[in-house]
Structure formats: structure tokens, C-alpha cells
Amino acid sequence: MKQEARILITKDGPYLVSGNVPLAKEISIRDKRNVPTIWKLGGRFPDQESYALCRCGASKNKPFCDGSHSDIEFDGTETASKQPYTEVAERYEGAELDLLDQPELCAGAQFCHRAGGIWDFVEIATDPKAIQLAIEIAGQCPSGRLVVCEKGTESSIEPQFEKTITVLEDPGRQCSGPLWVKGGIPIHSSDGTEYEVRNRVTLCRCGESNNKPFCDGTHIDIGFKDSD
């Protein structure tokens, strides 16, 4: 019987991924103004039915766990809220779309800087091309901090993702980023509960987020490198 895709967070240990979830690398590509514009596939890892991904940042075999969390006595205490996204996100009313924003989830990817900033852009996006660009920009936010909705509703407009995990790299900021979990993969806490299933979230892999298990952009501040 085929196992369903899921991620289990172990106490002070790695993320246990099961269900034959594809694992790949994605790279943030920036334009001449140093604003990210596209995610570029950077290669795929061999398929595995299950695997353990490092979340302490100390593994010598990143992105996989090598047991270093025990050596460094990693404190992986989960501090993130389990409230549903729509209950805590701020709403920005636009011309044709509304924008939901939960800043605590920001992973610092900076795609939101496109078109002068997604917050201002949704206010003026009225023609079909501009509306589509606003939808694209929000969908490039890997953490799911930003979500566009049909105006006045909570009917979100999301990119179509298969269940995958990608290891993010940001050469423009000279650092390695979080794990981008796509397609609604259930994430189970080490306490036995489950986080809200969402189309896209980012999980910390530098070990230093203050919003564990989710990324809060700390990898940028500490200059986290996948090869270290």
C-alpha cells in the first residue's frame, strides 16, 4: 500500500519525510536591479520513499540529516502558532484583488519587491496583464506569507503545485535558504498535532529561526551556507 506524503518533525531532530516526495534544489534568479524574478530548478535528488532532512543546520551531508543534532544538543522547540492562516493574516484591499499577509512567515525571498512592491501593486492592478502579474508575484512567495484572493472573499488564488520539497538557494544574498514545501503536504508536530495544511510553506533548516518549524529569514542574518 502506497504511503501518503507527510512530514514528521522529530523532537530536537530532523524532519522525517515519507510518501516518496520528490526533492530538488531551486535557485533565486535576480534581475539587474537585484530583484528576484524567477525560481530556477537546480537539479533533483534521487527519489526515495522516505528520508530525513536536517533542521539543525549542522549536518555535513545537507540537506540530509547525519545525526549532528545530537552532537550539538540542538534545541528544536517549536514556537510557531497553529492558528489558521486566514485568522491571523492582515488584509490589503486592492482594485481587483485583495492581498493577505502574515509577516511572521516571511522567509526573506524578496519576490514581493517586484513591480514596485506587491502591496502597492495590488492597489492599482486593474487590467488583465497586471492582475496576472500580481497573482504570479504572490505565488512566488515560498513561505505562503502572501496570498491573493478574489476581492472581498477568502477564495485564494494559488499556483498549482505537485507535492514536492525544494531546497532553496539565494546567490544574490550569498546564502542558502529554507525548505520549500509545496502542494499541501501535511506537517506533523513533534507533540502529535498537525499544522494547517497549506499549498506552500517554508521550513527552517539553519536551526536558528525564532518561529520553528517555519523559516523567519534568520538564515540571511547569519549567512547560512548549505556547503558549510
Q: Where are the domains of the chain?
A: 6-81+160-222, 88-157
Within a 10 A sphere around the Cβ of 43, how many other Cβ atoms?
A: 9
* Opening angle at CA 142, ends 191 and 213, nearest 5: 20
pLDDT in tens, 138-185: 999 999 999 999 998 878 999 999 999 999 999 999 999 999 999 999
CA dist., res. 95 & res. 83, Å (int): 28
Q: Look up residue 95 and give its DSSP letter.
A: S
Other C-beta atoms lying within 10 Å of the C-beta of residue 228:
12
- Which three cell numbers, joined as nine digits, stand for 130? 497586471
The stretches in the chain having pLDDT less than 70 are: 1-2, 228
Q: What is the pTM of this model?
A: 0.96
27 Cβ contact list (under 8 Å, min separation 6): 39, 40, 41, 42, 168, 169, 170, 171
